[in-house]
Amino acid sequence: MEQKVIFKDLGTLEYAKAWDLQKKLLGQVQEIKVYNHSLPACEQSINYNYLLFCEHPHVYTLGKSGNDNNLLVNENFLKEKGASFFKIDRGGDITYHGPGQIVGYPILDLEAHGLGVKQYVYKIEEAIIKTLEKYGIAPERLEGATGVWLDTKIPGKTRKICAIGVKVSRYVTMHGFAFNVNTNLEYYNYINPCGFIDKGVTSMQKELGKKINFEEVKENLKEQFAQVFAYEYVLLNEG
Protein backbone atom coordinates (compact mmCIF):
# COMPACT_ATOMS: atom_id res chain seq x y z
CA MET A 1 0.00 0.00 0.00
CA GLU A 2 1.34 3.43 -0.94
CA GLN A 3 2.04 5.48 2.16
CA LYS A 4 0.78 9.03 2.72
CA VAL A 5 3.34 11.62 3.71
CA ILE A 6 2.84 15.24 4.70
CA PHE A 7 5.62 17.52 3.47
CA LYS A 8 6.45 20.70 5.37
CA ASP A 9 9.05 23.29 4.43
CA LEU A 10 9.75 25.00 7.74
CA GLY A 11 12.12 27.63 6.34
CA THR A 12 14.77 28.84 8.79
CA LEU A 13 14.15 27.35 12.23
CA GLU A 14 16.14 27.26 15.47
CA TYR A 15 17.49 23.79 16.14
CA ALA A 16 15.72 23.33 19.48
CA LYS A 17 12.34 24.14 17.93
CA ALA A 18 12.89 21.65 15.13
CA TRP A 19 13.91 18.98 17.62
CA ASP A 20 10.77 19.62 19.70
CA LEU A 21 8.59 19.39 16.59
CA GLN A 22 10.18 16.09 15.59
CA LYS A 23 9.53 14.61 19.03
CA LYS A 24 5.92 15.78 18.90
CA LEU A 25 5.30 14.25 15.47
CA LEU A 26 7.12 11.03 16.36
CA GLY A 27 4.90 10.65 19.43
CA GLN A 28 1.82 11.30 17.30
CA VAL A 29 2.76 8.64 14.75
CA GLN A 30 3.55 6.14 17.51
CA GLU A 31 0.28 6.84 19.33
CA ILE A 32 -1.88 6.26 16.25
CA LYS A 33 0.14 3.18 15.42
CA VAL A 34 -0.60 1.68 18.86
CA TYR A 35 -4.28 2.68 18.56
CA ASN A 36 -4.58 0.93 15.18
CA HIS A 37 -2.79 -2.22 16.27
CA SER A 38 -5.81 -4.08 17.63
CA LEU A 39 -8.34 -2.77 15.09
CA PRO A 40 -9.40 -4.30 11.75
CA ALA A 41 -8.12 -2.38 8.74
CA CYS A 42 -11.53 -0.87 8.02
CA GLU A 43 -11.60 0.82 11.44
CA GLN A 44 -8.03 2.08 11.60
CA SER A 45 -7.17 5.78 11.55
CA ILE A 46 -4.92 7.09 8.79
CA ASN A 47 -1.44 7.42 10.22
CA TYR A 48 0.26 10.16 8.22
CA ASN A 49 4.05 10.27 8.11
CA TYR A 50 6.10 13.45 7.59
CA LEU A 51 9.03 14.85 5.67
CA LEU A 52 10.30 18.13 7.13
CA PHE A 53 12.79 20.41 5.37
CA CYS A 54 14.45 23.38 7.05
CA GLU A 55 17.59 25.47 7.39
CA HIS A 56 19.15 26.04 10.79
CA PRO A 57 21.15 28.99 12.08
CA HIS A 58 24.76 27.93 12.73
CA VAL A 59 24.69 24.92 15.05
CA TYR A 60 26.78 21.85 15.85
CA THR A 61 25.12 18.63 17.00
CA LEU A 62 26.83 15.66 18.63
CA GLY A 63 25.24 12.21 18.44
CA LYS A 64 24.92 9.93 21.45
CA SER A 65 27.95 7.85 20.42
CA GLY A 66 30.02 10.90 19.47
CA ASN A 67 33.25 12.14 21.00
CA ASP A 68 33.31 15.60 22.60
CA ASN A 69 36.89 16.02 21.38
CA ASN A 70 35.62 16.25 17.80
CA LEU A 71 34.46 19.79 18.61
CA LEU A 72 37.75 21.64 18.22
CA VAL A 73 36.77 25.02 19.72
CA ASN A 74 35.43 26.27 23.05
CA GLU A 75 32.11 27.81 24.01
CA ASN A 76 33.39 31.38 23.74
CA PHE A 77 34.59 30.79 20.18
CA LEU A 78 31.20 29.35 19.27
CA LYS A 79 29.52 32.50 20.54
CA GLU A 80 31.89 34.64 18.48
CA LYS A 81 30.89 32.66 15.39
CA GLY A 82 27.19 32.90 16.21
CA ALA A 83 26.92 29.16 16.64
CA SER A 84 25.27 26.92 19.23
CA PHE A 85 25.96 23.33 20.31
CA PHE A 86 23.61 20.46 21.22
CA LYS A 87 24.17 16.92 22.43
CA ILE A 88 21.34 14.92 20.92
CA ASP A 89 19.86 11.43 20.75
CA ARG A 90 20.64 10.39 17.17
CA GLY A 91 23.36 8.05 15.99
CA GLY A 92 26.62 9.30 14.55
CA ASP A 93 29.19 11.80 15.72
CA ILE A 94 29.41 15.57 15.30
CA THR A 95 28.08 17.55 12.37
CA TYR A 96 27.31 21.14 11.40
CA HIS A 97 24.04 22.72 10.28
CA GLY A 98 23.73 26.19 8.86
CA PRO A 99 22.35 28.48 6.14
CA GLY A 100 22.50 27.11 2.61
CA GLN A 101 22.12 23.53 3.81
CA ILE A 102 18.96 21.44 3.38
CA VAL A 103 18.27 19.67 6.66
CA GLY A 104 15.71 16.91 6.28
CA TYR A 105 13.78 15.18 9.04
CA PRO A 106 11.68 12.20 7.86
CA ILE A 107 9.20 10.97 10.48
CA LEU A 108 8.39 7.60 8.93
CA ASP A 109 6.94 4.34 10.20
CA LEU A 110 9.47 1.84 8.89
CA GLU A 111 7.13 -1.11 9.50
CA ALA A 112 4.49 0.45 7.27
CA HIS A 113 7.14 1.01 4.60
CA GLY A 114 8.49 -2.53 4.99
CA LEU A 115 12.00 -1.28 5.79
CA GLY A 116 14.77 -2.07 8.22
CA VAL A 117 17.09 0.65 9.48
CA LYS A 118 19.91 -0.14 7.02
CA GLN A 119 17.48 -0.12 4.11
CA TYR A 120 16.07 3.18 5.34
CA VAL A 121 19.49 4.87 5.45
CA TYR A 122 20.30 3.41 2.03
CA LYS A 123 17.15 4.98 0.59
CA ILE A 124 17.97 8.40 2.07
CA GLU A 125 21.37 8.14 0.40
CA GLU A 126 19.69 7.09 -2.85
CA ALA A 127 17.39 10.13 -2.89
CA ILE A 128 20.37 12.44 -2.37
CA ILE A 129 22.41 10.61 -5.02
CA LYS A 130 19.65 10.87 -7.62
CA THR A 131 19.23 14.58 -6.87
CA LEU A 132 22.96 15.26 -7.28
CA GLU A 133 23.08 13.34 -10.54
CA LYS A 134 20.59 15.79 -12.01
CA TYR A 135 23.25 18.49 -11.60
CA GLY A 136 26.09 16.51 -13.15
CA ILE A 137 27.73 15.56 -9.84
CA ALA A 138 28.91 11.95 -9.46
CA PRO A 139 28.05 10.92 -5.87
CA GLU A 140 29.06 7.66 -4.21
CA ARG A 141 28.64 5.63 -1.05
CA LEU A 142 31.62 4.99 1.19
CA GLU A 143 31.92 1.49 2.62
CA GLY A 144 31.66 1.51 6.41
CA ALA A 145 30.24 5.05 6.59
CA THR A 146 26.83 6.58 6.10
CA GLY A 147 26.13 9.62 3.95
CA VAL A 148 26.88 10.63 0.37
CA TRP A 149 30.46 11.14 -0.76
CA LEU A 150 32.60 12.12 -3.74
CA ASP A 151 35.84 10.54 -5.00
CA THR A 152 35.85 7.68 -2.51
CA LYS A 153 38.58 5.82 -4.43
CA ILE A 154 41.04 8.73 -4.42
CA PRO A 155 43.05 8.99 -1.17
CA GLY A 156 43.14 12.54 0.13
CA LYS A 157 40.31 13.64 -2.14
CA THR A 158 37.35 11.86 -0.51
CA ARG A 159 34.78 14.38 0.70
CA LYS A 160 31.26 14.27 2.08
CA ILE A 161 28.40 16.29 0.63
CA CYS A 162 25.57 14.90 2.78
CA ALA A 163 25.69 13.62 6.37
CA ILE A 164 23.09 11.22 7.79
CA GLY A 165 22.28 10.52 11.44
CA VAL A 166 19.01 8.97 12.56
CA LYS A 167 17.11 7.70 15.55
CA VAL A 168 14.49 4.94 15.36
CA SER A 169 11.99 4.48 18.19
CA ARG A 170 9.37 1.73 17.95
CA TYR A 171 10.16 1.57 14.22
CA VAL A 172 9.43 5.31 13.75
CA THR A 173 12.27 7.55 12.57
CA MET A 174 13.46 11.02 13.51
CA HIS A 175 16.53 13.18 12.83
CA GLY A 176 17.81 12.65 9.30
CA PHE A 177 20.24 14.30 6.89
CA ALA A 178 22.23 17.49 6.25
CA PHE A 179 22.74 18.19 2.53
CA ASN A 180 25.26 20.89 1.60
CA VAL A 181 23.97 23.06 -1.23
CA ASN A 182 25.29 26.62 -0.70
CA THR A 183 26.77 25.93 2.73
CA ASN A 184 29.59 28.04 4.21
CA LEU A 185 32.19 25.28 4.57
CA GLU A 186 34.39 27.39 6.87
CA TYR A 187 32.30 26.18 9.80
CA TYR A 188 33.54 22.62 9.27
CA ASN A 189 37.06 23.78 10.18
CA TYR A 190 36.03 23.79 13.84
CA ILE A 191 35.08 20.11 14.04
CA ASN A 192 36.21 16.67 12.90
CA PRO A 193 33.13 16.13 10.69
CA CYS A 194 31.37 12.91 11.67
CA GLY A 195 34.53 12.03 13.59
CA PHE A 196 36.74 11.81 10.48
CA ILE A 197 40.14 13.49 10.43
CA ASP A 198 41.26 12.27 6.98
CA LYS A 199 38.27 13.20 4.82
CA GLY A 200 36.89 16.51 3.62
CA VAL A 201 33.53 18.19 3.24
CA THR A 202 32.07 19.83 0.17
CA SER A 203 28.90 21.42 -1.21
CA MET A 204 27.09 21.65 -4.53
CA GLN A 205 28.23 25.26 -4.79
CA LYS A 206 31.88 24.30 -4.38
CA GLU A 207 31.68 21.40 -6.81
CA LEU A 208 29.90 23.36 -9.54
CA GLY A 209 31.67 26.67 -8.96
CA LYS A 210 28.50 28.73 -8.65
CA LYS A 211 25.63 29.43 -6.28
CA ILE A 212 22.84 26.91 -6.74
CA ASN A 213 19.10 27.58 -6.92
CA PHE A 214 18.24 26.41 -3.41
CA GLU A 215 14.48 26.18 -3.90
CA GLU A 216 14.93 24.14 -7.06
CA VAL A 217 17.17 21.64 -5.26
CA LYS A 218 14.60 21.29 -2.48
CA GLU A 219 11.86 20.57 -5.01
CA ASN A 220 14.00 17.99 -6.82
CA LEU A 221 14.95 16.33 -3.54
CA LYS A 222 11.35 16.25 -2.37
CA GLU A 223 10.33 14.41 -5.53
CA GLN A 224 13.24 11.98 -5.33
CA PHE A 225 12.20 11.05 -1.78
CA ALA A 226 8.69 10.26 -2.98
CA GLN A 227 10.02 8.06 -5.79
CA VAL A 228 12.66 6.23 -3.76
CA PHE A 229 10.37 5.56 -0.79
CA ALA A 230 7.27 4.94 -2.98
CA TYR A 231 4.93 7.30 -1.19
CA GLU A 232 2.68 10.16 -2.20
CA TYR A 233 2.38 13.60 -0.63
CA VAL A 234 -0.92 14.75 0.82
CA LEU A 235 -2.14 18.20 1.75
CA LEU A 236 -4.10 18.73 4.94
CA ASN A 237 -6.03 21.84 5.81
CA GLU A 238 -4.57 23.10 9.07
CA GLY A 239 -5.99 25.41 11.66
Which runs of E-coded beta strand occur in the chain? 3-12, 49-55, 59-62, 84-87, 94-97, 101-107, 140-142, 145-150, 159-169, 172-180, 200-201, 231-233
Integer CA distances (angstroms), 214 to 54, 129, 134, 167, in order? 12, 16, 14, 27
What pLDDT, in 10s, does the model give residues 101-153? 999 999 999 998 999 999 999 999 999 999 999 999 999 999 999 999 999 99
How many domains does the chain divide into?
1
- Mean pLDDT, the chain, whole residue set: 92
- Cβ 172 vs Cβ 109: under 8 Å: yes
What pLDDT, in 10s, does the model give residues 69-84? 899 999 899 999 999 9
Residue 161 placed within a domain: yes
**Coil/strand/helix, residue 233:** strand
Q: Residue 32 sits in which domain range?
A: 3-233
Residue 150 placed within a domain: yes
What residues pair up with 7 in beta bridges, in sequence order?
51
155 CB neighbour count, 10 Å cutoff: 9
The CA-to-CA distance between both ends of the chain, in Å, stands at 29
What residues pair up with 134 in beta bridges, in sequence order?
none
Residue 136 placed within a domain: yes
Residue 239 placed within a domain: no
Active site residue 194: yes
Residue 8 placed within a domain: yes
pLDDT of residue 220: 98
Residue 238 placed within a domain: no
- Residue 239, pLDDT above cutoff 50: no
Which of 42, 54, 162, 194 is an active site residue? 194
What span, in angstroms and rounded, lies between the C-alpha atoms of 161 and 19? Answer: 22
The DSSP line for 119-144 is HHHHHHHHHHHHHHHTTT---EEETT
Q: What CATH code is carried by the domain that includes residue 24?
A: 3.30.930.10
200 contact partners, CB below 8 Å, separation of at least 6: 157, 158, 159, 160
- Cβ 56 vs Cβ 12: under 8 Å: yes
